Amino acid sequence: MPSCKEMTRLLSDSLETPLPWPKRSVMHLHLLICGTCRRYRRHLLFMHKVLAGHNHLMFLSDTAKQRIKDSLAKKTED
Amino acid sequence: MTSLTSDPSKWLDDYGDALYRYAMLRVRSEPLAEDMVQETLLAAWQSFTQFGGQSSVKTWLIGIMKHKIIDHFRKYSHETDSLDDFEDNDALLAHSFDADGHWKINLINWGTPDKAMNDEQFWQMFYHCLARLPQNMADLFILRTVEDLSSEECCKVLAIATTNQLCVALSRTRLKLRQCLEVQWFEQG
């Protein structure tokens, strides 16, 4: 059974790539009995969710795009 | 080889928003982020002959912007010590875990993300915590979670040798960012 410290790595990795089943099963076993690691996992998901939700609020305005285009056209012309 | 064109205005249409988001999350200023997009595309146009197509155009452009951001912080900030720092982790581990690797701190219930997401003050705190990460860590977190660059592409852009090292670094980054948010935001609320 992994320690809580090792769990932080497993939980992080599980967001990157599907874990092989032995790792996945010990991870879930640990989560079953450890409330703090369950909460840590929720915090990781929280951080991803807020950032992903924020994501589509950040984009270049049409005026900014046009301004950049004009300026690039001028600078790449000569 | 198909349509590899050196047309900055096409790059702007295709990748402008991605570059802008990356810059915004790092420099927190709309006009500055816009300027950085422009500078990045111009630099890309000037060095297009060196682009061999080993990575995608998006990854290549993000790599150029990464250097623009580093230059910016070199010029305008005194924090030059954290460029490649994935090491500064032991203190946080000692603070969080006992000798057997069990948690020795309590983790606060953060509630649901929806509430925080619409709270301007929360975002200021989030930016603040991102800014306190070593630069490479902040880049890593942003490129993986926001830009959804693959592990291989992240390794290339950030000069990380193996995906294993990438996973170690990401795990540390998440631990660190979580700690900052907890202390700075959730313990206050």
User: Is B65 part of the contact surface with chain A (CB cutoff 8 Å)?
Assistant: no
Q: Which of B19, B130, B21 is nearest to B64 (CA)?
A: B19
Residues of A with CB under 8 A from a CB of B: 3-6, 8-9, 12-13, 16-17, 36-37, 39-40, 42-44, 46-55, 58-60, 64-65, 67-69, 71-73, 75-76
Q: What is the pLDDT of residues B160-183, one digit of tens each?
A: 889 899 999 999 999 999 999 999
Complex confidence, ipTM: 0.89
Cα dihedral B126, A52, B174, B103 in deg (nearest 10): 90
Determine the average pLDDT of the residues in B132-141.
87
Domain extent listing, chain A: 4-77
pLDDT at B38: 96
Among the candidates B43, B76, B109, a domain finishes at B76
CATH number of the domain bearing residue B150: 1.10.10.10
Type of residue found at A35? G
pLDDT in tens, chain A (78 residues): 999 999 999 999 999 889 999 999 999 999 999 999 999 999 999 999 998 887 777 889 999 999 999 999 998 886
Q: Can you give the CATH number for the domain in which B54 is found?
A: 1.10.1740.10
Range of the domain at B33: 8-76
- Please state the domain count of chain B: 2
In this structure, the answer to whether residues B113 and B156 fall within a common structural domain is: yes
Q: What's the angle, vertex CA A57, arms to CA A55 and CA A58, rounded to 5?
A: 75
Count Cα neighbours of B160 within 13 Å in the Cβ-side half-sphere. 25
B110 shares a domain with B63: no
Cα B71 from Cα B98, distance rounded (Å):
40
